[in-house]
Amino acid sequence: MDLIKTLDYRLVNNLKHSLLDANYGEGSVLPRSDPFEHLFFQQPQAVNGARSSASAATRNIGEKARESNAKIIILWGSQSGTAESLAHRLARDAQQRLKSVTVVCDLADYDPATLADVAESVIVVFIVSTYGEGDPSHNAIEFVSHVTTLRSSPLSHLRYAAFGCGNSNYRYFNKAIDDIASSMDRCGAYCLVPTGKGDEASQSTQEDFLEWKEGFFSYLVSEYGMSDHKAEYQPTVSITKEEITSANSKLLDNTSLPRKQQNIEIPIVSRDIVATYDGQDRSCIDLKLDLSNHSRIKYRTGDHIAIWPSNPLEEVDRLLGVLGLESQKTDGLRITVKDDMDELKVPSLTTIQALVSQHLDICAPVPRDTVLALARLTSSAIVRSELENIGRDRETYARFLDQHHLNLGRLLELMNNHDSSNSWTQLPLAFIIDFIPPMQPRLYSIATSSTVDPRRVGIVVSVKPAQVLKNPEALICGVTSTYLSTTDLSTISNEGSLVRAEIRKSSFKLPINLSIPVIMVAAGTGIAPFRAFIQERARLASIGHKVGPMILFSGSQNRSDSLYHDEFSTLEAMDGDKALPLKFITAFSRPRESDGNLPKKTYVQDQVLVHSREVVQHLVDNDGAIYICGATTMAKAVGDVILNVVMQRNSLSKEAADKWRQNKRKTASWHEDVWS
Ligand SMILES: Cc1cc2nc3c(=O)[nH]c(=O)nc-3n(C[C@H](O)[C@H](O)[C@H](O)COP(=O)(O)O)c2cc1C
């Protein structure tokens, strides 16, 4: 049983008395009343220095730093939001703790060559994540390819620090930040502190970042004479109430969203369960989204769709409840950034309900520095000591997280259990915006072909709750999968069934030449892009095009979760001139008696080995292309099998076989779309 779920809401509600009434113990950081209360209601025009961050944009990094009078400039490259959110956190802390004017810049918004224009007095920080074959995130590609080709010393006046986001399960762990750091060193820039590396594989990115950040700040204190004002929290946003009228309601949310989150609302028109798992609380669903009302939105086979979820109502209610905001949830808010340091990460006009349900990732785990920041804002000595205790060090907090499913709402509730007189109703809403990361979209490979279904986008979603390590009763449900599996389709005609989404281009594309053989290896929902590839080539074959052979290896637990099994079997069984030359090969890791003639545990790499003669013949002799989609470990195992067979067959050394694969990657004949 989830301990936290058993919390009594009545108790929480009874405790919602104001901090104004509470006695502050000695050493309390807060004075008697909430010092930020005025910020919640203040008129934006009255806030000193409140300006829109959308002021005339320059593409010159040096100029941006000069315009903002910045001491520190943080340049980020991020795809799914981790590095971006760390960049904002670093800026917030540098601004508040070190009192250093800090600006945050998306690398895609600046001309890479202008890095040389940054003044000597400005500290440059890079926070960049790695993808694919050690590539930088999309928004950093141009920058990284520029700096890696610099050969002279045009950056010898710069001082820099760098932190990377990556995952050590990938072959090229944090390569993008290494490439940036080595380019800086080669060009004469001075490295202030060792480059930090976050590792998602051990779920330690947040702690790795904290450790690196503290080292960086200590360096700035000791070498630059900055002072660290640890205890002070200053909101970076101003919030005022604004009545939502018929005149401004059109601006709500979407049009007032930050420019990079402008997306469209697409209706979900069907949802089907396409896989179930024996005895497990798990399923896969197939969803169709309808683009008919968006004639300008197009996708191509192999593209991704980014979907912005809404948080589960239970978690929204939990957070609003513990903050005492339930009765105000429909109130309109006008939100502005207090200086030019950063862009607003939430809509400038919204409601409390929309903010918490759609725009902030309230289900995200709470980083340890947020726990410590809360400790400084509570009036309860018991709660303060409890928060300080669990946030004391990396190990203690990790042990605590092993037992608890935590997000901000749950943490606040849990603390109220320790002191029934504690209340969080005075916690400024600005704190929530400052400390909770913005909602990030989740990317799905599109499982339909744009040739066959140009106005319908199909996706396949795995609905699989995770368990808390040492408390298996506590389940953590995925935000997007829960959202997509529970959206009410009976309300198609009203807003309830619309999802905020955006098509994202991908390089995971079929060869242009239709006759090229295609090998596809998938595990689980990795099948999605291959379903689209197969649909596409089947259609082209059906209208008389000559298409090359396709072999699909599909891994699942057994027949009951083998996605689109009947569809592929039917296509495989077709013959005649216009049939698709498809071979469909399954691998069942938990086979059942009824699943056919492979009763033992089989993985896709085993099946690739069984069929390796044919696979390698297509890849080596017929210039075929291979696509692997699924877990990193699977992709590595499949790659190893193929390389071994190529080495033996063609009497190649390991280096020569590696080179052959490198060459296939370069010529877009070896693709991997993998996750850990
Ligand atoms: C498809 C995919 C490919 C990835 N490739 C790599 C890689 O080659 N090297 C690495 O260190 N991390 C890799 N990662 C891990 C990401 O860098 C890591 O999740 C990071 O925290 C993402 O940061 P972001 O949210 O700022 O984009 C990959 C992640 C995904 C989903």
Q: What is the pLDDT of residues 132-146, one digit of tens each?
A: 878 999 999 999 999
Report which protein residue has its CA nearest ligand 1's atom 9. Answer: 173
Closest residue by Cα to residue 41 from 242, 235, 236 = 242
How many angstroms separate the alpha carbon of residue 129 from the centre of ligand 1? Answer: 6
Query: H-helix or E-strand containing 285?
Result: strand 283-290
Q: Which amino acid is at 249?
A: S
Using the predicted structure, report yes or no on whether residue 277 has a pLDDT greater than 50: yes
Q: Could you tell me which residue, 16 or 410, shows the higher pLDDT?
A: 410
CA distance 365 to 401: 9
What's residue 279's pLDDT? 78
Is residue 175 pLDDT above 90, yes or no? Answer: yes
pLDDT-based confidence at residue 253 (cuts at 50, 70, 90) = low
Radius of gyration of the chain (CA): 27
Ligand 1 pocket test: pick from 135, 200, 507 the residue with the most ligand atoms within 8 Å of its Cβ: 200
Does the structure show a pLDDT above 60 at 276?
yes
Please give the distance, rounded to the nearest whole angstrom, from the Cα atom of residue 676 to the centre of ligand 1: 9
Mean pLDDT of 200-211: 94
In sign, the C-alpha dihedral spanning 671, 511, 442, 559 is: negative
To test the pocket of ligand 1, the residue of 89, 130, 504 to mutate (highest count of ligand atoms within 8 Å of its CB) is 130
Query: Percent of the chain at pLDDT above 90?
Result: 71
Q: How far is the CA of 47 from the centre of ligand 1 (A)?
A: 39
Distance between CA 544 and CA 552 in Å, rounded? 22
Stretch 405-410: mean pLDDT: 92
- Contact present, 51 and 101 (Cβ < 8 Å): no
**What pLDDT score was predicted for residue 436?**
95
Q: Strands, DSSP E only, in 46-110? A: 72-77, 102-106
Which of 537, 513, 536 lies closest to 454 in space, CA to CA?
Answer: 536
**Distance (Å) from CA 547 to ligand 1 centroid:** 34
Helices 394-403 and 381-390: crossing angle in degrees, nearest 10, is 100
Average pLDDT over residues 255-273: 79
The residue-averaged pLDDT of 540-562 equals: 96
Virtual CA dihedral for 645, 648, 652, 655, nearest 10 degrees?
A: 50
User: Which token pair is 190?
Assistant: 């001075």
The alpha-helical segments, DSSP class H, found in 98-227 are: 141-147, 175-186, 205-224
Strands (E), 510-645: 518-523, 550-556, 582-588, 625-631
Look over the chain and give the mean of its residue pLDDT values, rounded to a whole number: 86
Residue 45: is its pLDDT beyond 80?
A: no
What are the pLDDT digits (tens) for 293-333? Answer: 898 899 999 999 999 999 999 999 999 999 999 999 999 99
ipTM above 0.85, yes or no: yes
Q: Taking 80 as the threshold, does the pLDDT of residue 522 lie above it? A: yes
The β-bridge partners of 312 are: none
Ligand 1 center–CA 483 separation, angstroms: 24
Q: Which of 46-50, 233-237, 338-342, 561-565 is modeled with the greatest confidence?
A: 561-565
pLDDT of residue 35: 30
Q: How far is CA 460 from CA 67, 287, 305, 454, 634, in A?
A: 47, 6, 11, 17, 19
Give, in degrees to the nearest 5, the angle at Cα 456 between 454 and 461.
130
Ranges 273-287, 466-480, 531-545, 587-601: which has the least confidence = 466-480
Of 367, 419, 427, 373, residue with least CA distance to 398: 367
Distances (CA, A) of 113 to 108, 153, 167, 443, 578: 12, 13, 29, 31, 53
What does DSSP assign to residue 25? P
Other CB atoms within 10 A of residue 330 CB = 10
Q: Are 659 and 666 in contact (CB under 8 A)?
A: no
CB 365 within 8 A of CB 411: no
Please tell me which residue, 254 or 475, carries the higher pLDDT value.
475
Domains of the chain: 4-34+236-435 (1.20.990.10), 49-224 (3.40.50.360), 518-675 (3.40.50.80)
CA of 632 to the centre of ligand 1 (A): 11
Q: Return the pLDDT at 251.
A: 62
Predicted TM-score of the model (pTM): 0.84
Q: Mean pLDDT over residues 626-652, rounded? A: 96
Residue 271 confidence (pLDDT) above 50: yes
Contact assessment for residue 411 and residue 366, using Cβ atoms and an 8 Å cutoff:
yes
Where would I find the H helices in 269-341?
313-323
Report the nearest atom of ligand 1 relative to the CA of 133. 8
Distance from residue 185's CA to the centre of ligand 1 (Å): 24
Which residue's C-alpha comes closest to atom 16 of ligand 1?
166
Using the mean position of ligand 1's atoms as its centre, give its distance from the Cα of residue 285 in Å.
Answer: 25
Distance 442 CA to ligand 1 centre (A): 14
User: Distance from the CA of 538 to the center of ligand 1, in angstroms?
Assistant: 33
Find the 168 Cα to ligand 1 centroid distance in Å.
9
Interval 441-456 mean pLDDT: 95
Which whole number is the average pLDDT over 413-438? Answer: 95
Q: Supply the pLDDT for residue 511.
A: 97
| CA distance linking residue 657 with residue 647, whole number of Å | 6
Secondary element (H or E) of residue 337: strand 332-337
Nearest-angstrom CA–CA distance, 381 and 402: 25
pLDDT category at 595 given cuts 50, 70, 90 is confident
pLDDT for the residue 55? 43
Task: Give the separation between CA 123 and CA 111, rounded to whole angstroms.
Answer: 18
Nearest ligand 1 atom to alpha carbon 174:
11
DSSP 143: H
Residue at 5: amino acid letter? K
Instruction: State the average pLDDT over residues 191-218.
Output: 96
- The pocket around ligand 1, CB under 6 angstroms, is made up of 78-84, 129-132, 134, 137, 165-167, 170, 172-174, 200, 205, 674-675
3-state SS, residue 138: helix
- Tally the C-alpha atoms within 13 A of residue 73's C-alpha that lie toward its C-beta: 26
The answer to whether the CB of 562 falls within 8 A of the CB of 554 is yes
Q: Is the pLDDT of residue 168 over 90?
A: yes
Smallest Cα–Cα separation from 404: which of 5, 10, 9?
A: 5
What distance in Å separates the CA atoms of residue 404 and residue 398, rounded to the nearest whole number? 10
Determine the distance separating the centroid of ligand 1 and the alpha carbon of 127, expressed in angstroms. 13
Residue 244 pLDDT level (bands cut at 50, 70, 90)? confident
Ligand 1 atom at shortest distance from the alpha carbon of 205:
21
pLDDT above 80 for 4: no
Confidence of residue 233 (pLDDT cuts 50, 70, 90): confident
Ligand 1 atom at minimal distance to the Cα of residue 84: 26
**Cα 137 to averaged position of ligand 1 atoms, centre (Å):** 8
Percent of the chain with pLDDT over 70: 87
Q: What are phi and psi of 586, to 5 degrees?
A: -100, 155
Length of the chain: 676
Q: Whose CA is nearest to atom 17 of ligand 1?
A: 166
Among 88, 165, 172, residue to substitute to test ligand 1 (most atoms within 8 Å of Cβ)? 165
How many angstroms does the Cα of residue 514 sit away from the middle of ligand 1? Answer: 32
pLDDT at 37 over 90: no
Helix (H, G, I), strand (E, B) or coil at 288: strand
Please give the single-letter amino acid code of residue 496. G
What's the gap in Å between 251 CA and the centre of ligand 1? 35
Mean pLDDT of 373-402: 95
Residue 644: C-alpha distances to residues 384, 648, 659, 671 (Å): 58, 6, 13, 18
Q: How buried is residue 509: exposed, middle or buried, by Cβ count under 10 Å (0-12/13-18/19+)? A: middle
The amino acid sitting at 666 is K
Looking at residue 15, what is its pLDDT? 28
* Residue whose token pair is 């037992």: 403
Task: For ligand 1, atom 6, name the residue with the nearest CA.
Answer: 131
More confident residue, 497 or 214: 214
pLDDT at residue 527 above 80?
Answer: yes
Say how far apart CA 60 and CA 524 lie, in whole Å. 45
Confidence of residue 513 (pLDDT cuts 50, 70, 90): very high
Q: Which atom of ligand 1 is nearest to the CA of 79?
A: 27
At residue 343 the predicted structure's pLDDT band, cuts being 50, 70 and 90, is confident
How many Å lie between the centroid of ligand 1 and the Cα of residue 79?
Answer: 8
Cα(534)–Cα(584) distance, rounded to whole angstroms? 11
Query: So what's the pLDDT on residue 39?
Result: 28
Q: How far is the CA of 326 from the centre of ligand 1 (A)?
A: 38
The answer to whether 90 and 125 are in contact (CB under 8 A) is yes
Task: Please give the DSSP secondary-structure letter assigned to residue 620.
Answer: I
- pLDDT band at 231; cut points 50, 70, 90: low
> Is the C-alpha dihedral spanning 371, 208, 362, 630 positive or negative?
negative
Mean per-residue pLDDT, 578-589? 97
Smallest CA-to-CA distance from 552 within 529, 575, 576, 574 is with 529
Higher-pLDDT residue of 595, 154: 154
CB 137 within 8 A of CB 166: no
Position 383 scores a pLDDT of 98
Confidence of residue 476 (pLDDT cuts 50, 70, 90): confident
Name the 3-class secondary structure at 644.
Answer: helix
